Structures are given as structure tokens and as C-alpha cells.
Amino acid sequence: MAEYFVWDKSKLTVSVDAMDREHQGLIAIMNKLHERHVSGAPISEVEAALNELGAATTAHFANEERHMESIGYPGLVSHRLIHQDLLKSFKQHATDFRAKRKLEDEFFRFLRNWLVAHIQGIDRKYGAHQKLNKSA
């Protein structure tokens, strides 16, 4: 089956290998979750993938914030707030899932929007900052 989420280097690289790898790891979990969702896997398996994604996302945001700090990225404070917002939305979706015992399409729209808007628009800025400072 074709992957639902694709890590396309030309669009999603942040030019920091460690962070690219983490983004790819998150996308792999998102695909696993989506696959279980559409194939009608047992609810416990959907929940396991959802929990895995939550834990990996929390760890990734912390790593990313540490990375931004290490390169003296000036946008760290607002980026951290965006992360907190995303985690809040994620937790709300997880709460809804536990109440309804199913994931809504809206949840996958949220993940897609996060990928496209956040990685492409927001995360790439610290990569650009790092590149600029290296060549300076």
C-alpha cells in the first residue's frame, strides 16, 4: 500500500540530519497509525500507535528545542510555544479518541497540516539560520 505520508526531501528537509531523521521517524509512526486506522485494526493496536506517536513527538520537540538552543536560534521562544500548541491539539485528539474509540479524519488532516505547515514553514527556518551562521 502506498504510504499515506511521504517525507519528500525537496519539501521537508530542514538541512539538519539528526532532525530530518527524527521527522522521518515520526512520519513512519504516522503511516503505521494511518494503516491501522484504515485497515480496521483492533482498537488496542490503533491506541498503541497513537501512544507511540505521542511519546515520539514529545521527545522530538524536546530534542528540536535543545538543538535550536545550541545554535542560538533567535526564534526559539515562539517555536517552543508552537510546539506546546501542537502537543495540546494532539492530546485533545487522543482524548477524543479514547472517548469515541475511533480516530476521526480530522485527526489525519491535523497531522498533514502539521507536516506541511510546521516542518516546511517553521522548522526549516532554524535550518536556514544554521546554514547562514556556518557560512558567515
Q: Is 20 in the site for Fe ion (CB under 5 A)?
A: no
8 Å CB contact between 12 and 23: yes
| C-alpha cell at position 86 | 501542537
Q: Which amino acid is at 59?
A: A
Q: Which residues contact 85 (CB under 8 A, 6 or more apart)?
A: none
- Given the rule CB under 5 A, which of 46-54, 94-102, 115-123, 127-135 is the region that contacts Fe ion? 115-123
Q: What is the DSSP string of 62-79?
A: HHHHHHHHHTT-TTHHHH
Q: How far is the CB of 52 from Fe ion (least distance, A)?
A: 19
- Given the rule CB under 5 A, which of 28-36, 68-76, 106-114, 122-130 is the region that contacts Fe ion? 122-130
8 Å CB contact between 65 and 79: yes
Q: Is 123 in the site for Fe ion (CB under 5 A)?
A: yes
CA gap 8, 43 in Å, rounded: 30
Site string for Fe ion, 42-81 (x = CB under 5 A): ----------------------------------------
Q: How far is the CB of 86 from Fe ion (least distance, A)?
A: 8
Residue nearest to Fe ion (CB): 123
Residues that bind Fe ion (CB under 5 A): 123
